[in-house]
Structure 1
């Protein structure tokens, strides 16, 4: 499964974008608002975002009270964006109210880059609701606004938001470029906590790219720094991400420990969203360890907490885990409903890893329900999504290598211009690096080709297996209705179709077998009749099960007399089945309806209707007999003699 973070880990980026540490001379020179009495509360609120969100809200509200008496557009925008950040995870309407008030103040603001903060918060609200396409548009605008305003704090926050979302959408190379640039800007601004958040974002992308071990290492490093700094909320986010890395590596005990610690910290902070994500992780561990009942109990708690946040992806992740647990418990209908609910959100977000897992689980559930056709369709969706994800990962790795190569080449070129005396040495080093990268590209290309060939082979095998399942009756092993009709239709569409007969064979009084002897004996009766018919039906004739106790036999090239003799042969063959082992008091008999294809213009449907009508004639005639109903132009032959039995030619 694809790595899940607390979707608004990016909520920290908003505060990171527009709040700087108070007290530096540079900040005092750039922002005279430092002297305003509300400034101290805003600085405290910014610092508390990473440790105690409730304190952050309290301080932001205290700042707004002071600003009501001493208005300052810049400071009020920053205070309202802090509240928007907090509410985006809990109260969508409240967050929208705060961002609307902040936007209304922009014409009065002196710091033009604050518009990027407003755009980031609007994007945060949309991203939390699963509307990633619209959120990305706003982040793009925020990057452009911050660039024009030469506001590095806002630019770093906007790059973080855009890079995080690009990674969620599978564009890892460009996402990594944004996140690394954001980290570099935070380092230049001497904002180590913000830089640490950017590093966490980079780890998230490594996790999504499948480099789980590297991501785990980065999370461990970030967690140590956060614990040293007392950043409790950040710890809960990083621990959850670490748990997902362990989950992807199937290190279930380590994943459980990380999710449990996330849950404990989130409860201390009264952080319902963090609790819900942690519970989803603990439920996933329960599923993996074979305890679906325990998983469902945990997910019930998660759903209660989830209702306190507008996070659509969180709800979908919970539904996916529920679907898995319900499938394990054979509650197939409920499992399918939960998985379908998750699919709606994952499709909207184009979250490939989660789509692949959901499609795969849904295919298995539908197959277990006997809905082979829809199960096959969902399996194809899972395979297509897996292939898209695999190709995207490889393509993005190549793109990342190219970005690194281009960046390194540019740096080397600048170094060459400044250090002409070392030109030859640097050129040789660059050439060697280029050759190494070329070799790496060649190796990756070969690996990609092998993996794609393997994937294609597995897909071909799966397709063939699912096709066989879709065209075969599971109980009797004979072709099903779809298989028979798909083979009959082309025969009837030929310009000069050969003579063709159809028999519908119905087991007499089958319901009484089930009622008196049980469904196991009923199934045995169906299997025995199928075996008898299979032994007597040879190419070009073919057999299938229409459903229930009805079978169909199509005999291309047979005239009416031959078809009638064969029908009698089938009827008598069924009567000869030895049923003493499992039906001591009766023999099996069948009624048979016979029809012939028209010379032209006939269809599978019309033939089935005539054969079915003939079958009802046989039932009305007392059963255990053969009756025919021919097309209108051949009705004069509908009262045949009963010739002796003959075999197939």
Structure 2
């Protein structure tokens, strides 16, 4: 994950610098002795503050505050708006209320400003504040207004900054084609203005879009090239941003050592700059590397530092990214409730921002955590959400790539059309060339469409397989491998609802003194006891009978078509089979016994729930009778007289 608005903020700061370098604008209320050729005394401080944004932000703030002190005595609306915008952008990622106060002061000065394009800067800064707290829909509306204002004012500097802000947000929302068009247009404006550092910032924004579109190698190359120029130009703060973005590209490529190096250098730079937000982002990256390298404890320690720093900024998305990394680390440490809580917190923010890549990762991790907690239903629901989000990302990336190709094709066609008008003598040849090129594009689009259909088919097949696998998991007890309570009751309920249901017996089988096995021998030995009993019962239960685990040390067996005598004989056989289990390997001082509760289904109107209640009551009778025995509780009409003792029946104390 990249720093959400850092590059776009730097771009806006640079746009303010362009305004100041372009020439001193006379204030609406100049002093009588001031002339057009005499720069305002605050001008130097604002120029220096705008330049320091890319190197040392604290120096930029100091110079801005010095300029405001001068402007208090020698007012100039344009210069004061620029100073307020510098402070606003600095505060937007540190103190939301203070940033809003600077916006309000700048907006109040707009009626006295001579440069109408400055209104676009105010709108951009308002959007920055909203984007930092993940209110992306409102931020986008403000960026749209900023583009319109800058266009009307014919202010190319502010238009480039507004296009950058809008393009970056569009890329964040997955609208890569339109976002790329904005960023390329902003870059072209900077090049026309001969501002190479500004153009480089726009190029970094383009690299971010490539990273989001899945072209990580291309993004990595662009960041490497940008970093070289930034080092040569002394753009210290920009290096911290680019290094973080480079680390994310390496992270996406699973190049963990390179990612660690980039994040560590970004952290060192941001720490020297006393920039908590940048430090927190870099620490999140280092924690992600530790998670990937199998060090969840180290990841949690790193994330604790990041959380302390994050509290100094209103950046909601940063907090969500930290919570996602915490959830992963806690999952690895089997701290499942805490992991689920952290992931749920991250999920809310990512949903609001509609950040598909992070949503996919959070849904997938949360599905695994909930499944490990035994909540198969909720885990399955989140797995479906992860698959749906992944499919949305895939379709969006393909659609946006097609849209990007179309924009490039339309642009190229327009340029060719203009060339035809200029060179009429070559019209026919150029028309033929364009026709051939169009056919080539059409063939390319057809091929890509076929590839897309095939890929979507593969995706659908994988989703079908995952659905089947999750349904099987949802109906199976993970420890013993036998069906779970849901599976048994789902199968039994239709049998009891038949107009003339067959006779049916139910047994609840409980391992005696199971808690003492766990206490004396440990949970691992207790698990072995459960598995051994499950294996023995599974070998003795044959269709149409079926078995399941109710939970804990209890198993249930349903025997459709069995009468009372057969059911009782089977219960005794199960009890004796369990006693025959050889436990010397792992329980050398005892053998396993079970208590069994038996009931029969009523001829009409019985349900799985009522049968479970009767069988459970019979089981408690067996426990009270000393365990290791079979007890019976029949339905009310049949239980007025006690069930006769079967020949040879023995109750064990």
TM-score, L = length of structure 1: 0.91
Question: How far does residue 598 in structure 1 lie from its aligned partner after superposition?
Answer: 3.2
The 1:592–1:148 alpha-carbon spacing in structure 2 relative to 1, beyond 3 Å, is same
The 1:619–1:304 alpha-carbon spacing in structure 2 relative to 1, beyond 3 Å, is closer
- In 1, the alpha carbon distance for the partners of 2:259 and 2:466 equals 32
The 1:209–1:574 alpha-carbon spacing in structure 2 relative to 1, beyond 3 Å, is same
Q: Number of matched residues?
A: 642
Secondary structure of the corresponding residue to residue 428 of structure 1:
helix
Runs of at least 5 residues in structure 2 that lack an aligned partner in the other structure: 29-35
1:259 alignment partner, one of 252, 260, 263: 263
2:564 aligned partner = 560
Asked whether the 8 Å contact 2:27–2:114 carries over to 1, the reply is no
- In 2, the alpha carbon distance for the partners of 1:389 and 1:447 equals 16
Question: How far does residue 143 in structure 1 lie from its aligned partner after superposition?
Answer: 1.9
- In 2, the alpha carbon distance for the partners of 1:575 and 1:230 equals 79
The 1:223–1:545 alpha-carbon spacing in structure 2 relative to 1, beyond 3 Å, is same
Q: How does 1:47-86 map to 2 (within 5 A)?
A: 47-86=51-90
1:9 aligned partner = 7
2:457 aligned partner = 453
Q: How does 1:221-300 map to 2 (within 5 A)?
A: 221-300=225-304
- In 2, the alpha carbon distance for the partners of 1:586 and 1:295 equals 44
Asked whether the 8 Å contact 1:592–1:627 carries over to 2, the reply is yes
1:129 aligned partner = 133
Secondary structure of the corresponding residue to residue 378 of structure 1:
helix
2:430 aligned partner = 426
2:142 alignment partner, one of 123, 138, 141: 138
User: Any idea what the Cα deviations from partners look like across 1:602-623, whole Å, max 9, x if unmatched?
Assistant: 3221221121112222333343
1:159 alignment partner, one of 163, 169, 172: 163
Question: How far does residue 596 in structure 1 lie from its aligned partner after superposition?
Answer: 2.6
- In 2, the alpha carbon distance for the partners of 1:619 and 1:329 equals 38
Secondary structure of the corresponding residue to residue 206 of structure 2:
helix
The 1:59–1:118 alpha-carbon spacing in structure 2 relative to 1, beyond 3 Å, is same
The 1:42–1:587 alpha-carbon spacing in structure 2 relative to 1, beyond 3 Å, is closer
1:624 alignment partner, one of 613, 622, 628: 628
Secondary structure of the corresponding residue to residue 558 of structure 2:
strand
1:393 aligned partner = 397
1:181 aligned partner = 185
1:593 aligned partner = 597
The 1:445–1:23 alpha-carbon spacing in structure 2 relative to 1, beyond 3 Å, is closer
Q: How does 1:221-620 map to 2 (within 5 A)?
A: 221-579=225-583, 582-583=586-587, 586-620=590-624
Asked whether the 8 Å contact 1:571–1:590 carries over to 2, the reply is yes
- In 1, the alpha carbon distance for the partners of 2:278 and 2:380 equals 37
- Which one is further off, 609-618 or 169-178? 609-618
RMSD (CA atoms)? 2.7
Asked whether the 8 Å contact 1:45–1:57 carries over to 2, the reply is yes
Question: How far does residue 448 in structure 1 lie from its aligned partner after superposition?
Answer: 2.2
Asked whether the 8 Å contact 2:27–2:76 carries over to 1, the reply is no
- In 2, the alpha carbon distance for the partners of 1:22 and 1:142 equals 19
Question: How far does residue 127 in structure 1 lie from its aligned partner after superposition?
Answer: 1.0
Question: How far does residue 207 in structure 1 lie from its aligned partner after superposition?
Answer: 1.0
The 1:509–1:199 alpha-carbon spacing in structure 2 relative to 1, beyond 3 Å, is closer
Question: How far does residue 151 in structure 1 lie from its aligned partner after superposition?
Answer: 2.6
